[in-house]
Amino acid sequence: MPFPQVVGVATSSAGEAAGLVVGDEIRSMNGRAPRDVIEYRFLADEAVVELEVDRGGLVTTIVVEKAAGEPLGVEVSSPVFDRVRTCDNHCEFCFIYQLPKGMRKSLYVKDDDYRLSFLYGNFTTLTRFTELDLERVVSERLSPLNVSIHATDPVLRSRMLRNRRGATSLRWLRQLLEHGIEVHGQVVVCPGLNDGVAFEETLAGVLEDFPGLASVAAVPLGVSRFSKEGTMRAHTRAEAEAVCATVAEWQPRFLSALGHRMVQAADEYYLLAGLPFPEAAVYEGFSQHENGIGMARSFEAAFRGRALTRLPGGATTTHGGFFKSVDGAPASGYRAERGAPSTPKAPGAGRATILTGEYGAQVLRPLLASEGFTEVELVAVENRFFGGNIGVAGLMTGEDLERTVSELPPDRRYLLPDVCLSEGRFVDGGRPEDLPRPVEVVETDGAALRRALTVGRARRRRPLGLTLSEASAADSVGERVGA
């Protein structure tokens, strides 16, 4: 079993005071070898933590004395120190099977690990879940978890997962709910497989067997040009309309029976169907925002400066995993810290041009027009790298951006959403600073985009001798009075 390695030590932290340094390998904590960062967190919460540390081949003991619950201030190399529990399903719609060769190795890892569900918001099918896992989740209150349901009919679910354990593994979902664990579910709706009547039967099964679920997301499958599954295809407009209609039909039933709407359709369905998005209140707190549920409405609300509806008790509007609350857990995969790259190129000062995916452009175009940003240019980047029906901004690649931007004028100010980056890299490994035009990476949030556009206006309008901050303030005042 690999041991956690120290990759960062916070200044003035208990770990730094005790002498921990980057590169240390933690062999044990108070006599126990932690299996993952969750166990690491519990052990590190003690007032006295005795660490057995391997430093360059020399094993030594470091004792940290601090207040109980005070963090060590140490970041470790991985969320899981034993082996990540990989997925043994072979779903036809699995996007990992549709990736081309030659990409980063981490992108090809199919996990089905409940710990990564808790830490990062990943979805698990529970086909590798055990009694010991249930005991740990319940005793340590590892909540919330995300579970892929796909179908409540055992035969259909087994067929979709291509795993006979798929027929019985939802028993663990029932156990989790009975023990008070918060669980969010998803159904990847595949045309001709679990849509139509099967989708309605799944929602009926959820209401009957899993009424304790916090939410259920209906999401479309992604089909890239590398898919080898002949039966998998993108939804037609009529099929997207049918999914939206089914969700709209079942929401009042759930509301009447359970007090909340339970099921939500992904934004892509409304875009494919050409239908308006539901009002923000319908999303009941945007609990599956990270899964593409209500992203457009929450983005719009932030762009317009409106407060979002919150869940009862003041819970946060979004949750994409809880790694930030677990001391020491590193960001990982698509949920890694985005971070604006340091680029040697000076950003352009001309007309603002937003680079986004084809779906993002459909959302932004009417929003920008309604808010008076008519001078802003919007460029929808065609995803030729993956092809198929892939049009989300999060899967824009350096290759497609390079092709698109090279055909655009150099005297523009190009804005790029950070959702397409992970640790400063695109999914195909490229970096923003390698693009033929300088780009500004903007947080994928409505308020952040509006600030970036407003500052751009101020930069172009400011009188001689006026600072950028003064011009930005003046520009904001001008907008409020209708200038």
pLDDT one-digit tens code per residue, 144-203: 999 999 999 999 999 999 999 999 999 999 999 999 999 999 999 999 999 999 999 999
What would the DSSP string read from start to end of 208-226?
A: HH-TT-SEEEEEEPP--TT
Q: Which residue has the higher pLDDT, 320 or 292?
A: 292
Fold of 96-325: TIM Barrel (3.20.20)
* Domain 6-76 class, CATH top level: mainly beta
Give the pairing type, strands 25-29 and 412-417: unpaired
- Each residue's pLDDT tens digit, 296-317: 999 999 999 987 654 433 333 4
Residue carrying the six token digits 């595949």: 190
Of 79, 146, 78, 73, the C-alpha closest to 112 is 146
How far is residue 253's CA from residue 259's CA, in Å, rounded to a whole number? 9
What's phi and psi for 96, nearest 5 deg? -65, -35
Q: How confident is the model at residue 458 (pLDDT cuts 50, 70, 90)?
A: low
The predicted pLDDT at position 350 comes to 76
Domain with CATH 3.20.20 in the chain: 96-325
Domain with CATH 2.30.42.60 in the chain: 6-76
